[in-house]
Amino acid sequence: MAKQRRKADFPSKICVVCGRPFQWRKKWADCWEEVKYCSERCRRRRSQSSR
């Protein structure tokens, strides 16, 4: 049986829009290096943060 990983074992990043930390997600496994935003809301607000 596979060993369970704790949430603290996964990598995290800081969102460039809101500045909050967010954890790695399985859906980002193939593109984790390109992920910049913690949520869809922050991704939509990215242009407003540069003003």
* pLDDT tens profile 12-40: 999 999 999 999 999 999 999 999 999 99
Mark 27-51 as b/e (b = at least 16 C-beta within 10 Å). Answer: eeeeeeeeeebbeeebeeeeeeeee
- Residue 50: pLDDT over 60: no
Residue 49: pLDDT band with limits 50, 70, 90: low
Q: What is the pTM of this model?
A: 0.73
Six-digit token string for 46: 């990215």
